Amino acid sequence: QVTLRESGPALVKPRQTLTLTCTFSGFSLKTTGMCVSWIRQPPGKAPEWLARIDWDDDTYFSSSLRTRLAISKDTSKNEVVLTLTDVDPVDSATYYCARIFTYDYGPAFDSWGQGTLVTVAS
């Protein structure tokens, strides 16, 4: 059974760096075709894709947030970490991680975590 769980601070001050961890089970990021993405969703709005890391260490980022984002993985811990620098109140959202397994459903997000709500405020 595939599961993903996001963790991190619920409250971050403006201009700080947000660090979120996705801990997953039921699959391995060593498997060819396996990827993990981060997506965020402000309250009442559509989701916004942020970043993706692949089994072969390739990384991809939203063009609008590229300069502020970093993504990394620790395959021994089954974790993917996202950092977002210089946060602003507009970065307040529920942050999700999701799995992609290209051999099953192509580039689609086939499993999602339950999300973690992050508020940026002083």
Partner 1 sequence: SSELTQPPSVSVSPGQTARITCSGDDWGNKYACWYQQKSGQSPILVIYQDNQRPTGIPERFSASTSGNTATLTISGTHAVDEADYYCQVCDSSSYVFGTGTKVTVL
**Residue ranges that bind partner 1, judged by CB under 8 A:** 37, 45-49, 52, 60, 62-63, 96, 102, 105-110, 112-115
Pick between residue 54 and residue 87 the one whose CB is nearest to partner 1: 54
CB of 76 to partner 1, least distance (A): 26
Q: How far apart are CA 70 and CA 77, in angstroms?
A: 18
**Least distance to partner 1 from the beta carbon of 106, Å?**
5
Amino acid at 19: T
Alpha-carbon span 85 to 12, nearest angstrom:
11
- Which C-beta is closer to partner 1: that of 17 or that of 32? 32
Nearer to partner 1, 3 or 17 (CB): 3
Question: Using an 8 Å Cβ cutoff, are 36 and 24 in contact?
Answer: yes
Q: What minimum distance in Å lies between the beta carbon of 107 and partner 1?
A: 4
CB 47, min distance to partner 1, A? 5
Six token digits for residue 40: 């965020």
Residue 108 identity: A
- DSSP 8-state class, residue 108: S
